[in-house]
Structure 1
Amino acid sequence: MSVKHALLALLSRGPSTTYQLKKDFDHTTGQTWPLNIGQVSTTLQRLARDEFVQRDDVGDSGADPWQLTATGRLELEDWWSRPVDREQRGRDELIMKLALAVETPGVDVTVLVQRQRSAMQQVLHDVTRVRRAVAQEDLAARLVLDSHIFTTEAELRWLDAVEGEVEKARMLPVPSSSATSATVVPVPAKSIR
């Protein structure tokens, strides 16, 4: 998620202080994406540098609110109009870890999968518990939490598939040294890419 665009979206509601933006972000995401005050402050400074936001000088309060500029509104409108490109979401450490594990001698992929499954089941339990406690009228938090639940469930299904592929690969005969390249056993990692 783009913290930059999230802050611009929050500021489109009206001027807000750094602390209030952090609170609003936490509330909107159901407190599932930790965002510390330093990250909010640093992002706001970059947004000010790029002329997307500016301080609303109200005097001696010491916590002058930030407001969206015309340039910031255009940037936000552009962001709203673009679909999220899955290719730009970053590299997934779990995929890389398992892909490397299946090709690294001495790494027990089954143990890695079981540990990850256990951790993801705990996440699913925790997020589901939080989701049940969210008020019906808090649509933003419900949507974010539902996304976490569906994503976690999908990852658990994927881990089941990885484990199945690893088991199938273990059952394949090991090619003899005289085998030609046409009879080489496929590398399991290709099945999880």
Structure 2
Amino acid sequence: MSVKHAILGLLYEKPRHGYEIKTGFEQMVHQQWPLNSGQVYTTLERLVRDRLVEPLGEDVRDRKQYRITEAGKQELRRWLLEPVQKSLLKDEMFFKWLCARKMGFPEIDKMIMNQKKKMMETILQLTQLQAQLDREQHGDMILLIEGGLLHLEADLKWLQCLEEEGSSPAWEVQHEKKRE
């Protein structure tokens, strides 16, 4: 997630001060990704330095307002049109599974079961959150949740494949042959 681009997006909508950016971001993501105030202000400083944002002065409460520049709008557009690259081959669970098989870890089935349990808990949490949201008011968040549920479903099927592959590591078989 790019805080820089989230700030540009919020400023594209209207000029804002730092705290308004923080709360606007948290509302946009339905409080699912907390944003540190310090991160907002350091990012704003970099955006000003890079001429993507400009300060407007202070409002009636002495809070510095910012607005997006034309260069900022171009950067936001560039980012929005750039496809997202997912790192499908750098999955942490798969790496754990590879290590467990390589070392002959005797609890590999338990490791997979723990992961499945964690995923099922997450599915339950997301399903409960989805049920609490109104589709008209929170349609974007519901779509995000539905995407997350689809990913989790695919990951559960993938874990089933790992289980079916068996926990008999190639390492163990190779070392048994050497012992003979």
- Provide TM-score, normalisation by structure 2: 0.81
Letter in 2 for 1:83: P
Letter in 1 for 2:116: R
Deviation of 1:122 after TM superposition, in Å, equals 1.0
Partner of 1:11: 11
Higher mean C-alpha displacement, 115-124 vs 148-157: 148-157
Deviation of 1:32 after TM superposition, in Å, equals 2.5
Task: Tell whether 2:140 aligns with 1:134.
Answer: no
Letter in 1 for 2:71: T
Higher mean C-alpha displacement, 90-99 vs 6-15: 90-99
State the distance in 1 between where 2:10 and 2:59 align: 22
Deviation of 1:160 after TM superposition, in Å, equals 1.8
Contact preservation (8 Å) 1:30, 1:145: no
Deviations, residues 139-158 of structure 1 (Å, cap 9, x unaligned): 22222222222222222222
Deviation of 1:54 after TM superposition, in Å, equals 2.3
State the distance in 2 between where 1:152 and 1:67 align: 39
Deviation of 1:124 after TM superposition, in Å, equals 1.1
Higher mean C-alpha displacement, 24-33 vs 108-117: 24-33
Partner of 1:113: 112
Higher normalized strand content (fraction of residues): 2
Partner of 2:102: 103
Higher mean C-alpha displacement, 32-41 vs 6-15: 32-41
Partner of 2:153: 153
Deviations, residues 5-26 of structure 1 (Å, cap 9, x unaligned): 2221122111122222222222
Residues 1:97 and 1:178: Cα distance change in structure 2 (over 3 Å)? closer
Q: How does 1:28-67 map to 2 (within 5 A)?
A: 28-59=28-59, 61-67=61-67
Letter in 2 for 1:123: T
Contact preservation (8 Å) 1:29, 1:141: yes
Higher normalized helix content (fraction of residues): 2
- How many residue pairs were aligned? 176
State the distance in 1 between where 2:89 and 2:79 align: 18
Query: Unpaired segments of 5 or more residues in structure 1?
Result: 180-193
Residues 1:146 and 1:161: Cα distance change in structure 2 (over 3 Å)? same
